[in-house]
Amino acid sequence: MSGGTGFGKRGWKLKGEEGSKLLWCAGDAPHRAKVLGLDLDGTVVTTVSGGSFARDAKDWKWFNEEVRGRLRRAFAEEGYKVVIFTNQGAMARSGEGAKAEQVKDRIDLVRAALGSDVPVAVLAAVGKEIKGKGPHRYRKPEPEMWQEFCDRLNGGVQIAMRASLYVGDAAGRAGDFADTDRKFADAAGLKFLTPEEFFVPQIEGAREDETVEVLREEVDGPPAAKRAKAEVGQVNGDP
């Protein structure tokens, strides 16, 4: 895939020393104080194939149908800079080669699908930490990727930490593969949300527990106690 700095590979840059490299693309995202940080896989997108890892650059779909609209509101109405922070362990630690090109192509396709009205910056930690070859300082949950963004990739604009947040699926819940995203947010000092909390529409005026209950009822129907009460009301002629 080719093009300008908005979506094409010419916008990608590689930095860092051997064993700890960071691939990043600023795109056309304006520098802002409020930052919406997001994990990529399992948060913004999942795989079409159903696998844990993408088979190719086209193996992706949105986490749910709300993603594009929610990110557009975050950028245009709520004033966030949208930034993806992702570990890409399948890439060679050099940040080069066929797998690196596939990762860049896949992210470029995601950004292009969002469109120019949601410019997205991306930071990707390249490769995995290899025993005996030293730590990979950019990989989550280490906060170095966030710190690099704050220090050098936001045009000198100071981050409004209390207004910024990070969304990720590795939250340490039952069934999660890890708690990497939650620990990354904690280390960076950011408010943390899961994709279910951020991308599932909230019902205006409802507490979080009430919203979850209403969503559950939409799928499963009302609890037995509520059904029984409703049936009694219908028998007695109550509205």
Residue 214 tokens, joined: 């209403």
% of the chain beyond a pLDDT of 90 = 62
Find out whether 37 and 166 touch, Cβ atoms under 8 Å: yes
Nearest to 88 by CA among 97, 77, 79: 97
Q: What strand order describes the sheet that includes 165-167?
A: 12-17, 20-25, 120-126, 81-88, 35-38, 165-167, 191-193
The per-residue pLDDT for range 9-21, each reduced to its tens digit, is 558 998 887 768 8
**What integer pLDDT is reported at residue 178 of this predicted model?**
96
What is the average per-residue pLDDT within 115-125?
94
- Determine if the pTM surpasses 0.85: no
**Cα separation of 213 and 126, whole Å?**
40
Q: Which residue has the higher pLDDT, 22 or 48?
A: 48
The per-residue pLDDT for range 129-155, each reduced to its tens digit, is 766 666 688 999 999 999 999 999 999
Least confident stretch, 4-18, 88-102, 103-117, 160-174: 4-18
What is the average per-residue pLDDT within 169-188?
97
Residues 6 or more apart in contact with residue 185 via CB below 8 angstroms: 37, 165, 166, 168, 191, 192
**Cα separation of 60 and 195, whole Å?**
16
Cβ atoms within 10 Å of 57's Cβ, excluding its own? 17
Residue 147 tokens, joined: 């710190």
Residue 223, pLDDT above cutoff 80: no
Cβ atoms within 10 Å of 93's Cβ, excluding its own? 18
Domain with CATH 3.40.50.1000 in the chain: 9-201
Question: Given pLDDT bands bounded at 50, 70 and 90, which one contains residue 1?
Answer: very low
Residue 141 tokens, joined: 């949950």
**Cα separation of 215 and 202, whole Å?**
9
CATH of domain 9-201: 3.40.50.1000
What is the average per-residue pLDDT within 73-94?
91
What is the average per-residue pLDDT within 31-45?
98
**Cα separation of 67 and 64, whole Å?**
6
**Cα separation of 167 and 169, whole Å?**
7
Mean predicted lDDT score pLDDT of the chain: 83
